[in-house]
Amino acid sequence: MRPVQRRQQGLQYGLYLLCMQAINFGVDRIPPATLIGVILQALLYTGLIKVPWNAEDACISAVKLFKYRDWRSFIVSNFEHGSDMHLYYNMVSFILKGSYLELMYGTTNFVLLLALLSFGCSTMYVFLAYMLTQITGDYGYYTMCAIGFSSVLFALKVITICEEHDRSHDIGGLRVPSKIAVWIELALIHLLVPNSSFVGHLGGILVGCLYCYTFIGELIDNLIYMVTGVPVIHEEQFYRRRNLGFR
């Protein structure tokens, strides 16, 4: 999402809705890394976590990276949000995806995967912005700035779909095949939410596809295993282990 306002302190409506959704879902059902991630991003948005930047200053763009070497935005842009409702929708989505994937992969592996996805999404965003500038000649792609966890969430959505195989998904009340669900959602968000970052969302999808459908996914799994000492268990392996009585 493009940054539209400064972080505001206090309990806004979106934060209230987020608390209600977490309670309705069951706080005890949210795995620890996912829950901590939601809490930290909410505290960051409200300003209760003090940081030496403003939300709008943290947005990522190709020009900030290539011309001004603003590496801070490369890291923190994924965790800032432009409004309380932006935070609400992203964190509800994160709860759903994190509760599925963190349980499967394990907390430590999931945290490391999130870090790698965040790095990958920032890299892909800058790459797409640069390439679109070169292809179209539109300098707007080079300077467009975005913040939010949405790109990482789109990557997680692709991974979730990959793990679920051929289950259908509900998009705007329509049941669609899993293979096209993420692309339909990308188009709908772009049409219905004009302030959203199409390039950021597309970048997240591409990062998710790289993890799921290319050798890069195996490289990432091996890297995670080298760091944590715990193999990344995917859906078929996960349920096979449960049926054999392993935890």
Q: Which of 43, 72, 77, 57 is nearest to 6 (CA)?
A: 57
DSSP string across 44-99: HHHT-S--SS-TGGG-B-HHHHHTT--HHHHHHGGG--SSHHHHHHHHHHHHHHHH
> 150, 151, 196, 197: which one is catalytic?
150
Rounded CA-CA distance 37/79 in Å is 9
Going 7 to 182 to 71 to 133, the CA torsion angle's sign is negative
Phi, psi of 169, rounded to the nearest 5 degrees: -125, 150
Rounded CA-CA distance 2/101 in Å is 28
Residue type, 71: W
201 is catalytic: yes
Q: Is 26 left (phi over 0), alpha (psi -120 to 50) or beta?
A: left
Tokens of 67: 């011309």
Catalytic residues: 150, 201
